[in-house]
A and B are shown apart, each in its own frame.
Chain A
Amino acid sequence: MTLLEVRDLHVEFSTRDGVARAVNGVTYGVEAGETLAVLGESGSGKSVTAQAVMGILDSPPGRITGGEILFEGRDLLRLPEEERRRLRGARMAMIFQDALSALNPVLSVGYQLAEMFRVHQKASRREAAEKAVELMDRVRIPSARARAGDYPHQFSGGMRQRIMIAMALALEPRLIIADEPTTALDVTVQAQVMELLADLQREYQMGLILITHDLGVVADVADRIAVMYAGHIVESAPVRELYGEPGHPYTKGLLDSVPRLDQKGRELDAIKGLPPNLLRVPPGCAFHPRCPMARGVCRRDAPPLQQIGAERSSACHFWKELLDAR
């Protein structure tokens, strides 16, 4: 059984200027022990999808208008809120980008970690405090026992992100969603945190969804990548295939537009134009105004996400041409 399966999910936001369709029929799945990276720029719907899965979508203005979210076989969207609350933290957990605002500034980190055990497992105060220290040890925070009484602002960015990871891991959930977990960190610290996350995921055989805008960060750790654009998944493939021969012009554009450490050139192949305004998504393929391969059909018909290989799919009318051109 697939650990998590999102099927044809639709999410809308009502705004003063109209309805923004943030997620338009997203389908993806994660197995236990697998890492799925969801890649996209701001406004692509990658975080909103995750919030819908976790059940922490701001509603209103957000609204799930269709689809299913199957977690261990049960449709989360049909569960009563009380039951979903019990799943959060215990069976599925989330790591946020900005640890400083995700942690409570007036409680010590030890207390916040211990709270997980006290609320979900009805552990005693002392038992919970002991487990909190163990947890801090496990995410490699030096002198964990001494630091359990410290407050979030007393930790560096990398250490705070470790505490976030500890908190997500506390109850040994089956699924972890990490939303840009290393974006706010420096490169050297970023490498440490990614390594920790990958180690722990292997150890516990969890499913991991890694949400990011950075093509580099996920290349090492992800098994599969789903690329999102304007609320759609435009391509989904195993890591090597996606980087080696992208099956969607947007993916190719992204890969061509990042400067690389090991390649120096004067001009980058930038994708022209801007990501679409979600209130006015272009008709047909949402990417067509920026696409170098766009033709008449792209302006009329939205391409469905179709199987283009054993384990990969693309939402482009001309995926074959793109692959053949290489």
Chain B
Amino acid sequence: MPAEPILQVRDLVKHFPLTQGVLVKRQVGAVKAVDGVSFDLRRGETLGIVGESGCGKSTVAKLVTRLERPTSGTIHYKGADVAHATGRELKALRRDIQMVFQDPYTSLNPRMTVGDIVGEPFDIHPETAPRGERRRRVRELLDVVGLNPEHVNRYPHQFSGGQRQRIGIARGLALRPQIIVADEPVSALDVSVRAQVMNLMARLQEEFELSYVFIAHDLSVVRHISDRVAVMYLGKLVETGSDTEVYEHPTHPYTQALLSAVPVPDPGAAAARERIVLRGDVPSPADPPSGCRFRTRCTKAVERCAREEPVLAVPAGLAGEAGPVRHPSACHFAEERGPVGTL
């Protein structure tokens, strides 16, 4: 019995206008960064969103946290619509939905002490902690994320990358949010430190009953931490499912290619795997291909793919199947190729 959804995203769209002219700006087009994305986040789970650069995954993160206003679509959280909230309502929603950023070097103010950085959410939302208690709360938070509480008066540059990311996580936790949206939280870290931060995030999730939206380009990292996975390509989700469904029984050709390209730190397995090397590069999101957006790089593409856009649903051909092959995939010719990357 899956837990009830805490966040429901429906038909989320974000177009960034492209303008021309210096004095009189005319709109000449739009970058369709996110173009109709729908998903549910269930309570206590981690939803991983993977995709290559430019696929719109970071824009999704900014929309869910309302750092950007969506062009259209809805984001339902506890009966409120995050997409259209304003003023006091929006401020209250932001308390519950916090963000952890990718780059621990630029996302912390170099002129503020760690204590001030982690304590700033209490200044913005004074109702969450009485003034006298804040210092103690900040020390607690540092302790929770594995930093020395004695270091409250230090500045970000005195910490290593992994420690800075812990500071960013402590700040995200300060207001006891329900949801944390983490955009590439471990990508900038060294291998040995990355594992520490991932373990920390897994521990905090249990301790604070958090729901995560975990965005990354590294498929192995996403699999490790996620309960469910959504694969994104050029502003759209192409395949969603549990980690077993997507990783062991992928049916969308893009997911299959992506998985086959992931380097595995094992020379034997690497040699035995079948590699699907994709042709070319990702098309521009300002002018995406008609029909299926992946068709320009797809090995299965036929004329129908240019005409008819596949919807993200359980493919008709697989509807009769039982088991993990049966999950949403936006391809006219969705089928399993046999397990990829598992040998």
Residue ranges of A at the interface with B (Cβ–Cβ < 8 Å) = 41-42, 142, 156-159, 186-192, 195, 213-217, 219-220, 239-240, 243-244, 253-255, 257-262, 264-272, 274-275, 290
Main secondary structure of the interface of B (DSSP, over half): helix
List the B residue with the shortest CB-CB distance to A214.
Answer: B263
B residues 230-289 near A (Cβ < 8 Å) are 243, 247, 257-259, 261-271, 275, 277-278, 280-282
A-B contact pairs, 22 of them (CB 8 A): A188-B258, A188-B277, A191-B263, A191-B277, A214-B263, A215-B191, A216-B263, A240-B267, A240-B268, A243-B267, A255-B265, A258-B265, A259-B195, A260-B264, A260-B265, A261-B342, A262-B342, A270-B196, A274-B160, A275-B160, A275-B190, A275-B193
User: In the complex, which residue of chain B has the Cβ closest to the Cβ of A290?
Assistant: B192
* Interface presence of B53 (CB below 8 A): yes
Besides the known contacts A188-B278, A191-B277, 15 further A-B residue pairs in the complex with CB atoms under 8 A apart:
A187-B52, A187-B217, A188-B52, A188-B258, A188-B261, A192-B277, A214-B191, A217-B263, A219-B265, A220-B271, A257-B195, A270-B195, A270-B198, A274-B160, A275-B192
Point out the residues of chain A lying under 8 angstroms from B196, CB to CB. 270-272
Measured CB to CB, the nearest residue on chain B to A212 is B263
Query: Shortest distance in angstroms between B279's beta carbon and chain A's nearest beta carbon?
Result: 9
Whole-angstrom CA separation of A158 from B196 in the bound complex: 31
Contact check, B195 vs A191: say whether CB atoms are below 8 A apart.
Answer: no
Which positions 196-249 of chain B face chain A at CB distance < 8 Å? 196, 198-199, 202, 217, 219-221, 223-225, 243, 247
- Judging by beta carbons under 8 Å apart, are A253 and B202 in contact? no
On chain B, the residues within 8 Å of A189 by CB distance are: 52, 281
B137 part of interface (Cβ distance < 8 Å)? no
Q: Looking at the assembled complex, report how far the CB atom of B137 sits from the nearest CB atom of chain A, in whole angstroms.
A: 26
Whether the pair B190, A258 counts as a contact (CB closer than 8 A) is: no
Contact, CB under 8 Å: A219 / B258 = no
Interchain nearest-CB distance for B40 vs A (Å): 22
A262 to chain B: which residues have CB within 8 Å? 264, 269, 341-343
* Interface presence of B43 (CB below 8 A): no
Q: Is residue B135 contacting chain A, with contact meaning CB distance below 8 A? A: no
Q: Is the CB of A219 within 8 A of B277?
A: no
**C-alpha spacing A274/B261, complex, angstroms:** 30
Residue of B nearest to A216 (CB): B263
Among residues 297 to 342 in chain B, which have CB atoms less than 8 Å away from a CB atom of chain A?
341-342
* Contacting residues, chain B, for A142 (C-beta < 8 A): 280
Question: Are A264 and B243 CB-contacts (below 8 A) given A213-B191, A258-B191, A258-B195?
Answer: yes
Min distance, Cβ A103 to any Cβ of chain B, angstroms:
17
CB distance from A143 to the nearest CB of B (A): 12
> Which residue on chain A has the smallest CB distance to residue B159?
A274
CA–CA, A122 and B247, complex, Å: 54
Give the CA-CA distance A269 to B191 in the complex, in Å.
11
Residues of A within 8 A of B195 (CB): 257-259, 268-271
